Amino acid sequence: MGRAVRAEAVLAGDFEVAACYDVEGPCLRPGDRLPEGVDVVVDFSTPSALDFLGGMLSGTEAALVSGTTGLSAREKAMLESWSAERAVFYSPNMSRGIYVLARLVSEAGRLLGPGFDLEVVEIHHRQKRDSPSGTALRLVESWSASRSVQPEPVYGREGAMGPRRTQEVGIHSVRGGDVAGDHEVHLLGDGERLLLAHRASGRRTFALGALAAARFVSGRGPGLYGMDDLPGWSGDQR
């Protein structure tokens, strides 16, 4: 993702790439300081890199855009603590289409009522490290927000599990090839079913979303921001 963001930033014309950060290669390394005058850091790495990232941000006023997935509760709390002194934008998926899909899932849950079951299938390339995807979990959260009974995630199924429980939500992860990201939301009722899907043809869409987030947080005050805050994305033309 870092290469995709850098390529789109160069093409955009309103960004200057000051440095890159990686554990290997001709980039900033763990423990290195940010160059002077950096406005925004865009991070698509791994949860284990957050401690290094925190050290890099320390003593600077740089805003942060993070699309890293697989964060634990502790790691999400780290982002929230950083937002007390800088603008922090976090989303496990920077796609406008996924943002709309999450809102559709929430609205579907409200309109369909308790008689429908939710199953989520996500497909990613063979190199993806975390399962299920952060986006799949986000879609379940959207469904949960519209339900009176808190769903209980089930990660795949095997053996004699018995009938499906009312509050059960199935999440299924498929890995292989070079798939940038496919997500299917199956809404299953008696006598009918709905399928909502999003397929990313490449990483460019995520890079463009990250740059939109970078423009948003540049020069903005401290706070924790997300996709709902991007002008025009929620229907609010701020």
> Catalytic residue positions?
124, 128
Residue with tokens 């008696």: 190
Rounded CA gap, 38 and 108, in Å? 42
Q: What share of the chain is helix, strand, coil (3-state, %, to 5)?
A: 35, 25, 45
164, with CB counted inside 10 A (0-12, 13-18, 19+), is middle
Instruction: List, in sequence order, the alpha helices (H) in 113-194.
Output: 134-144
Helix orientation angle between 134-144 and 96-112, rounded to the nearest 10 degrees? 30
Coil vs helix vs strand at 15: coil
